[in-house]
Amino acid sequence: MEQQNSKTADRELLLTRTLNAPVALVWEVWTTPEHIAKWWGPNGFTNTISKMDIQPGGEWHLVMHGPDGTDFVNKSVFKEVVLHQKIVFEHFAPNFTSTITFEDQGDKTGLTWHMVFETKELFMAVVKAHNAAEGLKQNVEKLEVYLQGLKSK
């Protein structure tokens, strides 16, 4: 994973990928609870979304159900939402900010997912405890597979 900003290099994850789907479809599967519940999280996880209000100040309540039966409660607040371009949300416990940008490339979409953790110590703990870098990679891979399934219908 590359790093975007030297001031946060010791507490960030960054993943870029070109998705084989137009930006409108990628945006839809990112912003519709019925879609995001089907691909969000690392391999083997399922999701229950009780709230997803995608607008600045809107809350996102999500429970990720691990393959071992452990539930991971997630709460985030959307900070910035720019149609077909950008989603920024602040996640709590652990505290980090995610910025997802979408670049229209015709029938493809450039996706950049940047996570900055509150502290280096928190970053190290989350990466070590939950293998966050691999989880992020798996999340985007699941998104790609989900998009291909939608496109083939």
85 in a structural domain: yes
35 in a structural domain: yes
* Whole-number pLDDT of residue 14: 94
Provide the edge-to-edge strand list for the sheet that holds 12-19: 12-19, 108-117, 96-105, 86-92, 71-82, 59-65, 46-52
Domain containing 72 equals 15-151
6 in a structural domain: no
* Whole-number pLDDT of residue 1: 44
The CATH number covering residue 145 comes to 3.30.530.20
Contact (Cβ atoms closer than 8 angstroms) between residue 123 and residue 1: no
- Residues near 148 by Cβ (< 8 Å), separated by ≥ 6? 20, 21
> Which segments of 83-134 are extended strands (E)?
86-92, 96-105, 108-117
- Total domains in the fold of the chain: 1
128 in a structural domain: yes
* Whole-number pLDDT of residue 5: 53
Contact (Cβ atoms closer than 8 angstroms) between residue 35 and residue 146: yes
Q: Within the chain, which residues score under 70 in pLDDT?
A: 1-6
37 in a structural domain: yes
62 in a structural domain: yes
* Whole-number pLDDT of residue 66: 94
Q: Helix/strand/coil (H, E, C) string of 122-140? A: HHHHHHHHHCHHHHHHHHH
78 in a structural domain: yes
Q: Per-residue b/e over 111-134, b at no fewer than 16 CB within 10 Å?
A: bbbbbbbeeeeebeebbeeeebee
Q: Per-residue b/e over 73-91, b at no fewer than 16 CB within 10 Å?
A: ebebebeebeeeeebbbeb
**CA distances in angstroms from 60 to 74, 104, 149, listed in the order given:** 8, 25, 25
8 in a structural domain: no
